[in-house]
Amino acid sequence: MSQKILGIAGSLRRESYNRAVLNTLAEGREIEIFDISSIPLYNADLDGEHPPDPVRKFKDAIAASAGLLIVSPEYNYGIPGLLKNALDWASRPAYKSVLKGKKVAIITCSMATTGGARAQAAIRDCLYACLAEVVPYMEVAIPSVHNKVENGRLSDAKSLELAEGLLKALR
């Protein structure tokens, strides 16, 4: 297994603050960013030995990684549908998925003062259900992220320090 971390952003938006945070953290590190936007909506009829190609690639990338880094916004107090869908696919087959025992770190970012804390709790609950090993570390939630990203990069020193501590714990 590789020492590479697999990073995913829970937002589709091209100029996503979450994607900017993920890209910043990936610079100079062994973090491979996987775009989950091509994963189709979960359909049990398509699940099995021959899942859709984007699903197979996603599961293979998770399996080959040393851990998973999720950077996500909060949508309506919860997990963005894009991210929840990807986790649903990765969670199959139940109790034997590529997420079972996989180390996962979560960062949430929001323009709100909560930093996406409610989404973080929901993502954590979903990962527990998938038997993933959520890294024991303080929650990294970046509030007012729109004031902390400049030129597509996370520029806030305190947020970077917290995120880097979480990455260290993930490794």
Instruction: Take residue 111 and report the two structure tokens written for it.
Output: 């323009």
Domain boundaries, the chain: 5-170
Residue 70 has pLDDT above 60, yes or no: yes
Contacts of 4 (CB under 8 A, 6+ apart): 30, 31, 32, 64, 65, 66
Top CATH class of 5-170 equals alpha beta
- pLDDT of 1 reads 53
Whole-model pTM over 0.75: yes
CA distance 86 to 57: 12
Please give the average per-residue pLDDT across 146-164, as a whole number: 96
Backbone φ, ψ for residue 105 (5° rounding): -115, 145
Please give the average per-residue pLDDT across 40-56, as a whole number: 95
Q: Give the helix/strand (H/E) hosting 23.
A: helix 17-26
Token look-up 């973090």 returns 31
- pLDDT of 131 reads 97
Contact 16, 79 (CB under 8 A): no
Contact 59, 94 (CB under 8 A): no
**95-141 pLDDT, tens digit each:** 999 999 999 999 999 999 999 999 999 999 999 999 999 999 999 99
